[in-house]
Structure 1
Amino acid sequence: MRIASLLPAATEIVGALGLEDQLVAVTFECDHPVGIRDRRPVVVDTALPPGLDPGAIDAVVRDCVARGLPMYELDRDALAAIDPDLILTQDLCRVCALPSGAVDEALATIGCSADVLSIDPHTVAEVLDAITAVGRRAGATAAAARLVAELDARLDAVAAAVAGRPRRSALVLEWTDPPFVAGHWVPELIRRAGGEPVGCVDGGRSTTIGWDEVAAAAVEVVVVAPCGFGLGAAVEQAGAVLDRLPAVPVVAIDSASYVVRAGPRLVDGVEALAWALHPGAVPEPPPGRVARVR
């Protein structure tokens, strides 16, 4: 089967199922399996200018949304030439990835009859269901079942490790200029890690919050997890929190890999957050995943 992944999380799922050799197209953001975008044609690129700081990115995104402009560019000619059997996409967030509506329109234009699977989870359980769905469509049902069982076992191990410990209140910032509190499955990640999320919307979209509200939340820890960015950028953006909340512990995490991407590595994110919230309860994660900034 020829699989075109137009979503980084889907690329990660395909790789975890052992189907990397069936991937025939990816996006500019696909970085797992490592180096995959260097080995496969990239058919989705960003329409955002390079080199913007968080405030400027927010301004451009708001303008694009208000004017109905695309934030991603699909190379229709390349996709037509590749002629995939299965296309993996999403409708969860038009800011995060190319929406499936744009894919359907493109397929109609180029005359492609590929099967399209939209991956739109709102909870960890639905992320695991998405793995099952990809496995079923790609003919890897047994591999998907094994992977889901392994991920479930690791989540159970974290739950056992943090059971009985005080649940530290945590505010997760998905952006810092302006500040956004995370939604979708992120509050659940905090709970599974032994924390109590504050200000988050379970299963909903991330929402803006004022710095005065952040200060008034009286949380025990702030987790800086900027959407689409790695640990280095998270540590850098954590500076905004250090200045405004001088007495609150601050944790930075590689959000792009372990928090906002609806793939198998969300479980790595739960393990990393459990280590940050409850030192000693679980093994320390490998370098590059999470850091205690203060």
Structure 2
Amino acid sequence: MSTPARHGPRRIVCLVEEPTEVLYALGEQERIVGISGFTVRPPRARREKPKVSAFTSAKIDAILALKPDFAIGFSDIQADIAAELVRRGVEVWIANHRSVGEILDYVRRLGALVGCAAKAEAYAGELQRGIDRIAGQAALLPRRPRVYFEEWDEPRISGIRWVAELVRIAGGDDIFPELAAEPLAKQRILADDDEIIRRAPDIVFGSWCGKKFQPARVAARPGWQNVPAVRDGELHEIKSPIILQPGPAALTDGLRALHTHIARWARTTPDS
């Protein structure tokens, strides 16, 4: 009996983590020949695949030595890497998904690209059902906290769109919804702390893009002593690999981490 022909690219370099996580979930990991050095999911990928890129830089010669027929990256930040690979004859897909819905669509598109659209649709459906379960639990909470999500501390950068959406799904309300709509980090920089203090977050989530979040430093910021989150000790780290990459991790572990803190706050913090 003949083996079915494999469709789509067969030697893929993943310049960011999310395509690696998706391809492993779809059972298509054999197509991956190189990954980002920041990849942590799934853990086996770090053991099995050579690491050939960071986020804003890449080992172009090492990538070319792998003879890839496709490379997958994310956003304008990787535009220079993409341009160099294109100049060297590599086909490149730079995705730019920024919302929860777009992450799910990314899973479907990547699956279709490698010839397993049905598996990708099933996986996206599984992810959606997990989101719906959390949303249903959040809808039963007695109240919703005001949430400040901080991507970076100096300067202060508030959360990107999919993070703000996940906060809402988890049962909270992001205090900077107007900034969450901005795709670039530089557009989400807060000039000073005055507006954060004025909007009085009940919970502060920190995910300092790979740097350890330090609640004590946040609590010691001038003028923050009366912020409800500081007063009540609601300063929590969400590890960046599970929230700041627009892939399955954010929709699963990241969302669950947000909901755990929000649900506990909603059920235990007395009304002010």
Does the 8 A contact of 1:224 with 1:250 survive in 2?
no
Q: Residue 254 of structure 2 aligns with which residue?
A: 269
Is 2:45 the partner of 1:36?
A: yes
Does the 8 A contact of 2:150 with 2:158 survive in 1?
yes
**Structure 1 45/164 Cα, relative in aligned 2: closer, same or farther at 3 Å?**
closer
Instruction: Work out the CA distance in 1 between the residues paired with 2:69 and 2:200.
Output: 51
List aligned pairs for 1:122-271, cutoff 5 A: 122-165=98-141, 166-200=143-177, 201-204=179-182, 205-206=184-185, 207-209=188-190, 210-229=192-211, 233-234=212-213, 237-244=214-221, 245-246=224-225, 247-267=231-251, 268-271=253-256
Q: Which has the higher helix share?
A: 2
Secondary structure class of the residue paired with 1:24: strand
Does the 8 A contact of 1:169 with 1:198 survive in 2?
yes
Higher relative contact order (CA 8 A, sep 6+): 2
**Structure 1 248/173 Cα, relative in aligned 2: closer, same or farther at 3 Å?**
farther
Q: Deviations over 1:127-179 (max 9, x none)?
A: 01111111111122122111111111111111111114311110111111222
1:269 Cα deviation after fit: 1.2
Is 2:95 the partner of 1:119?
A: yes
Instruction: Work out the CA distance in 2 between the residues paired with 1:180 and 1:240.
Output: 16
**Structure 1 101/136 Cα, relative in aligned 2: closer, same or farther at 3 Å?**
farther
- Following TM superposition, the consecutive aligned residue runs of length 4 or more in structure 1 with deviations greater than 4 angstroms are none
Secondary structure class of the residue paired with 1:111: coil
1:106 Cα deviation after fit: 2.6
TM (norm. structure 1) is 0.76
Instruction: Work out the CA distance in 2 between the residues paired with 1:258 and 1:278.
Output: 19
Q: Which amino acid aligns with 2:256?
A: E
Q: Deviations over 1:15-45 (max 9, x none)?
A: 2222222210111111211042342222214
**Structure 1 104/91 Cα, relative in aligned 2: closer, same or farther at 3 Å?**
same
1:280 Cα deviation after fit: 9.0
- Structure 1: tracts of 5 or more residues without a match: 47-71, 283-294
**Structure 1 281/157 Cα, relative in aligned 2: closer, same or farther at 3 Å?**
farther
> How much identity, in percent, do the aligned residues show?
25
Secondary structure class of the residue paired with 1:185: helix
Secondary structure class of the residue paired with 2:209: coil
Instruction: Work out the CA distance in 1 between the residues paired with 2:112 and 2:43.
Output: 24
Secondary structure class of the residue paired with 2:180: coil
Q: Which has the larger radius of gyration?
A: 2
Please give the root-mean-square deviation of Cα atoms over the aligned residues, in Å.
Answer: 2.2
**Structure 1 281/23 Cα, relative in aligned 2: closer, same or farther at 3 Å?**
farther
Instruction: Work out the CA distance in 2 between the residues paired with 1:139 and 1:254.
Output: 34
Instruction: Work out the CA distance in 2 between the residues paired with 1:107 and 1:37.
Output: 26
Secondary structure class of the residue paired with 1:270: helix
Q: Residue 82 of structure 2 aligns with which residue?
A: 103
Secondary structure class of the residue paired with 1:26: strand
- Structure 2: tracts of 5 or more residues without a match: 1-9, 226-230, 268-272
Instruction: Work out the CA distance in 2 between the residues paired with 1:193 and 1:243.
Output: 28
